[in-house]
Chain A
Amino acid sequence: MTTATVTRHGKHVLRALGTGAPVFVLLAVVLAALALTDPGFYEPDSFLSFVKRAAPLVILAAGQYLVIVCGEFDLSVGAVVTAGVVVAAELYGSFPDAPWPLVTALLLVAGGVIGGVNGLITTALRVPSFITTLGMMLILEGAVFFWTGGSPQGALPAAFRQLGRGSAFGWLPWAVIVCLVAGAAAMLLMRSDFGRTLVATGDSERTAALAGVRVARARIIAFVLSGVAAATAAVLVGGFSGVSAQAGRGYEFEAITAVVLGGVVLGGGRGSIVAAMAGAFSLQALFTLLNLQGVSGALESTVQGCIVIAAVGLGAADWSRLRRRRTNPSEGQPL
């Protein structure tokens, strides 16, 4: 291979990473720092358990990306995670012998329905999704609290918790497999016609509508998928840490932080899903690093706040510099 093809290839990769490029650098830096802090971090077991812990956030970030890239928000995902865990526990309380695939499937469908409601209210009634999903979050939180009186009853059987805490072949956590499958599905989705029209919708709704894109339908599907992603995360979280009325607390903002960290522009139309998921890994790795460094866990949300502001701030600065460089009048060569 000649140098020319190598550089061209390199450029291609850079362009594919697009605005997300900084997040991969960040991820590499944090992972390197982790290796220095904790020499055991890259032992297969401890690394896989790190990925396992990151899996729910990665899946939530992928779902959140779909909603953000078409110009919306989904603040209800944390509440969906909590509701999912609690509902599963209550279900098992009433039907202790329910097969786990059925319960899991029910949760995924319920998550999709909640997303569908979010999407319908946002598109048909034109309620800004920020409000719709904030309302949905409060409704779900209230409903869970009302239903459980603050301390959920019932326990999740080992079979159901297997996905969240068990391992295949004795060494590969199921959560890692779920994460990989969800990640691959998300990437394929974003390369499909639907994925591309979804991004175009976020970029310019009018252009998309006049090109024949069913923009309302596309957005509703994005909300549905975000709801399904949240339910998937609920299954993992429930398996991993058991039943709690706080199971999903804060996940919505962690997911948004992860997406923003991935260089995805709020308002839609720009950014890649791979970068969004890398953002989730970076965030999880950063939390792990801080934890290892002995920084109080109480500061997690402070760190997250700094990150989200810095990511948007730096993203904006970068972008305007890029633009100025590229709008020079030499219009390039003919194709």
Chain B
Amino acid sequence: MLTMQGVSKSFMGVRVLHDVTLDLEPGEVHALVGENGAGKSTLMKILAGEHTPDTGTITIDGTAHAFTHPAQARDSGIGIIHQEFALLPYRTVAENVFLGREPVRRGLVDRRAMERRTAELLAEIDVTGITASMLVRDLPVARQQIVEIAKALASDVRVLVMDEPTAPLADHESERLAALVRRLTARGLGILYISHRLPEVFGLSRRITVLKDGRRVATLRTADTDADEVVRSMVGRELTAYYPPRARPEEIGAERLTVSGGGNDRIRDIDLTLRAGEVVGIAGLQGSGRTSLARALFGATPFTTGAMTVGGRPLRPRRPRQAIRAGIALVTEDRKTEGLALHQSVRDNALLVTRAVPPRGGPPTGREITALLERVRLQARGEDQQALYLSGGNQQKVVIAKWLAARPQVLLFDEPTRGVDVGAKAAVHTLVRELAREGLAVLIISSELPELIGMSDRILVMSEGRLVGALPAGADEESIMRLATGGRRGGQKDAA
């Protein structure tokens, strides 16, 4: 149905795609994997008409196309679901679905027809819980994504490109998305599926194409391969151990942070102890209060009730400065708007915290910052490169370096490896464990259960704003999910 043959593309003399060939059959999910910077996005942008290839052809149903504008790609039946949705928040679902193609009657937009056809479309793909007249801004992320999909379907796409569709979703939402993807392929759609999450790639795809450094390394039949082989071809090396070894009991030391009876309008009855040397994982569905917990510990949205101690001294931080002075650091889940000043240099970002809150031992020297950036294994052109131009993984390393410069005692990570490629992920995991071993208390929030299980010495599960259970290291996904869904029938209820 779709063939991309021998596609190459250079930007300013730098080859980013070398002779890549890819094909897609109707009703197939073809997964595209590779580290950040491997060329996946460029390839997809060429398919979507956002870039023009230097060489190579795109053939759809035997007709060759040379797109020079996204509208041409759309008219040829190619739809893209970007990571950042292109929806108008203050418009209704129907208005978004028919944006730019509104049905018109006597010169005016026929709202009734628009809403009726949107409702039909949503019914066709078996989606409930969204009505055509809802405002997009009132929908949770998972639902907004469905609106994006409906928008693509409304323009009769035959090929749907999904770029990291599950990145913003919690696990049970991802499962629902997978079900939707299967329904779409059953209707004959071909789906190009970009993802960092191998389990879901294996669950959905018929074939997997691996890109590395702008070249196609392999196209594998999913049934004939396994995660190890795919990871090997992605990184070009064996990842023998995904996760560093956990803490031995004698490595876990003094209490660094305690909370008893903590609560605010999002969370309640929080009892928590973080110890030196220990990595504590927090599991929970989206909206269960995990992020609110981290923000409360950090004083960003403070606890309003309960008692808290940091380093043995009572302190319930009311603003981040107090928490930072007490030695708490928070790596937020949204690094682009909360972790980095994107237009500032790597060095300025790394120095931001210590400039704002001068540490007791004096500000870090330039040499210390350089050493820190080396320690987090940052790959950048130099310390004066703007953070904007780093890959997701390297951006995250800068955020971590920024906090390490403040010499914290307690490190809180909210989704530490979201949108981070495999290589950087392993680097972050190793680093986190090293830091724990040096006596830091670490808390990790993650929607990726394998990561949480692999990293944690203890797992706490949140549900509806409370900590509902504690599990030992190595707990299995099922028992975590059972607690997280809180006795409800998992995945059936609304995500919001």
Give me the interface of A with B, judged by CB distance under 8 Å. 15, 193, 196-197, 199-200, 203-204, 206-214, 269-270, 323-335
Contact = CB atoms under 8 A, between A and B. Distances in A.
B342 A203 contact: yes
A331 B391 contact: yes
A15 B381 CA distance: 13
B377 A269 contact: no
B343 A269 contact: yes
Contacts of B146: none
Contacts of B37: 329-331
Nearest to A201: B341
A19 to B, nearest CB: 10
A219 to B, nearest CB: 14
Given A207-B337, A207-B338, A211-B402, A196 B332 contact: no
B39 interface: yes
Contacts of A269: 341, 343-344
Given A325-B11, A328-B12, A210 B214 contact: no
B90 interface: no
A333 B379 contact: yes
Contacts of B374: 335
Interface in B86-107: none
B379 A331 contact: yes
B385 to A, nearest CB: 7
Given A208-B356, A325-B11, A335-B370, A203 B344 contact: yes
Contacts of A331: 36-37, 379-380, 390-391, 394
B16 interface: yes
A332 B321 contact: no
14 contacts: A193-B355, A196-B355, A199-B348, A204-B337, A204-B342, A206-B337, A210-B339, A211-B353, A211-B357, A214-B321, A326-B386, A329-B38, A332-B381, A333-B379
A83 B343 CA distance: 37
Contact of A210 (B332, B383, B390): B332
Contacts of B370: 335
Interface in B4-53: 11-12, 14, 16, 36-39, 41-42
A333 B370 CA distance: 15
Contacts of B382: 332, 335
Given A193-B355, A331-B37, A207 B14 contact: no
A60 to B, nearest CB: 25
A213 B352 contact: yes
Contacts of B300: 210
B353 A200 contact: no
B330 interface: yes
Contact of A203 (B14, B298, B341): B341
B373 interface: yes
Contacts of B378: 334-335
Interface string B303-340: 00000000000000000110010000010100001111
Interface-central residue, B337, B351, B389, by most chain A CB under 10 Å: B389
A334 B341 CA distance: 21
B355 A207 contact: no
A201 to B, nearest CB: 8
Interface-central residue, B353, B374, B394, by most chain A CB under 10 Å: B353
Nearest to B340: A207
B384 interface: yes
Contact of B356 (A211, A333, A334): A211
Contact of A329 (B42, B324, B384, B394): B42
Nearest to B336: A204
Given A200-B344, A331-B394, A211 B352 contact: yes
Contacts of B39: 329
A204 B324 contact: no
Contacts of A200: 341, 344, 348-349, 352
B370 to A, nearest CB: 7
A49 B477 CA distance: 77
Nearest to B39: A329
Given A325-B12, A327-B389, A332 B380 contact: yes
Nearest to A265: B343
A269 B345 CA distance: 11
A212 B394 contact: no
A204 B344 CA distance: 10
Contacts of A327: 389
Contacts of A212: 320-321, 324, 353, 356-357
Contacts of B351: 196
Nearest to B9: A328
Contacts of B377: 334
A270 B320 CA distance: 25
B390 A197 contact: no
Given A208-B352, A210-B330, A212-B321, A332 B341 contact: no
A323 B38 CA distance: 18
Given A206-B337, A210-B300, A335 B373 contact: yes
A124 B339 CA distance: 24
Given A210-B332, A213-B352, A330 B16 contact: yes
B384 A197 contact: no
B432 to A, nearest CB: 19
A334 to B, nearest CB: 5
B332 A335 contact: no
Contacts of A328: 11-12, 14, 16
Nearest to B12: A325
A269 B356 CA distance: 16
A203 B352 CA distance: 12
B391 A15 contact: no
A199 B12 contact: no
Interface-central residue, A196, A269, A327, A335, by most chain B CB under 10 Å: A335
Given A210-B332, A332-B385, 19 more contacts: A193-B363, A199-B344, A204-B341, A206-B337, A207-B340, A208-B341, A212-B356, A212-B357, A214-B321, A323-B388, A326-B389, A329-B36, A329-B42, A330-B37, A331-B379, A331-B391, A332-B380, A332-B381, A333-B379
Nearest to B330: A210
A27 B260 CA distance: 63
A197 B337 contact: no
A288 B38 CA distance: 54
A203 B353 CA distance: 15
Nearest to A200: B341
Contacts of B42: 329
B360 to A, nearest CB: 14
Contact of B379 (A197, A209, A214, A335): A335
B339 to A, nearest CB: 6
A207 B391 contact: no
B352 A197 contact: yes
A335 B372 CA distance: 11
A181 to B, nearest CB: 25
A247 B492 CA distance: 71
Given A212-B356, A334-B379, A324 B11 contact: yes
